[in-house]
Amino acid sequence: DAGVIQSPRHEVTEMGQEVTLRCKPISGHNSLFWYRQTMMRGLELLIYFNNNVPIDDSGMPEDRFSAKMPNASFSTLKIQPSEPRDSAVYFCASSLGGQDNQPQHFGDGTRLSIL
Amino acid sequence: SQKIEQNSEALNIQEGKTATLTCNYTNYSPAYLQWYRQDPGRGPVFLLLIRENEKEKRKERLKVTFDTTLKQSLFHITASQPADSATYLCALLSGGSYIPTFGRGTSLIVHP
């Protein structure tokens, strides 16, 4: 089975530009998570969707960040305008909903560098 | 505030020995604890889950313990191999929550 697919794997762009990260969750999973990982802060949850609906976006840093899930097989995380402090690895993960002990399946992340 | 602590220093061990990694937490009453493995440039991969009423869980060469009194989980890899070298993260979940809180991970280096 295909795992969680993220694109692009790497993104380098200049400060102020819009950045869009994409995620395709595992088919049949109805929970989707966006995380950011840095050396300083580790793995931080940004937003959690269940059945395509945002449930918890308390981790979204500020209004420059937005996330959408238009259907069960696709999600985007957008940063506009981007800043150097947004540089990090962004992970998407999916899991089966319905039980609170389900493991998360992660993609291989997007390494984002804002110059 | 809730806090999860994993040793930030890398653990270096010799091949064949048992590696033991620690996950401590405070201000938290998790119902479940998960362990993940992360290789460089890859996302975390789920390894094991243990429930609060379980003392120990095993899977092949892996063993996890969960002590809710000490607020600690230990992750053991027996007969370690260089291929076990990776960063290992613990994650805690409260009952009824779908959102785990991750520790920052401990790097394990197994020397041949």
- From B61's Cα to the closest Cα of chain A, the distance in A is 20
Angle at CA of residue A65, ends B102 and A4, nearest 5°: 55
Tell me how many residue pairs between chain A and chain B have CB atoms under 8 A apart.
54
- From B19's Cα to the closest Cα of chain A, the distance in A is 22
Measured distance CA(B19)–CA(B16) in Å, rounded: 9
pLDDT of the residue at A99:
67
Q: Which of B93, B96, B99 sits opposite A48 (nearest CB)?
A: B99
* Residue A43 amino acid letter: L
Give residue-wise pLDDT tens across range A14-64. Answer: 999 999 999 999 999 999 999 999 988 899 999 999 999 999 999 998 899
Residues with Cβ within 8 Å of A12's Cβ and at least 6 positions away in sequence, in order, are A113, A115
- Which residues does chain A have within 8 Å of residue B42's beta carbon, measured at their own beta carbons? 108-109
C-alpha distance from residue A45 to each of A91, A99, B48, B82 (Å): 9, 19, 20, 31
Q: Which of B49, B97, B105 sits opposite A42 (nearest CB)?
A: B105
| b/e burial code for range A77-108 (CB count within 10 A of at least 16 → b) | bebeebeeebbbbbbbbbbeeeeebbbbbbbb
**Where does the pLDDT of residue A98 fall: very low under 50, low under 70, confident under 90, or very high at 90 and above?**
low
Residues with Cβ within 8 Å of A109's Cβ and at least 6 positions away in sequence, in order, are A6, A9, A37, A89, A90, A91, B41, B42, B43
pLDDT of the residue at B25:
94
- Which residues does chain A have within 8 Å of residue B49's beta carbon, measured at their own beta carbons? 101, 103
> Per residue of chain B (112 residues), what is the pLDDT tens digit?
778 999 889 999 999 999 999 999 988 888 889 999 999 999 999 999 999 899 899 999 999 999 999 999 999 999 999 999 999 999 998 877 778 899 999 999 999 9
Q: Do the Cβ atoms of A107 and A37 come closer than 8 Å?
A: no
Q: Which of B43, B94, B95 sits opposite A108 (nearest CB)?
A: B43
Backbone angles phi, psi at B62, to 5 degrees: -100, 145
Residue A95 has pLDDT above 90, yes or no: yes
Asked if the Cβ–Cβ distance from A56 to B99 is below 8 Å, we say yes
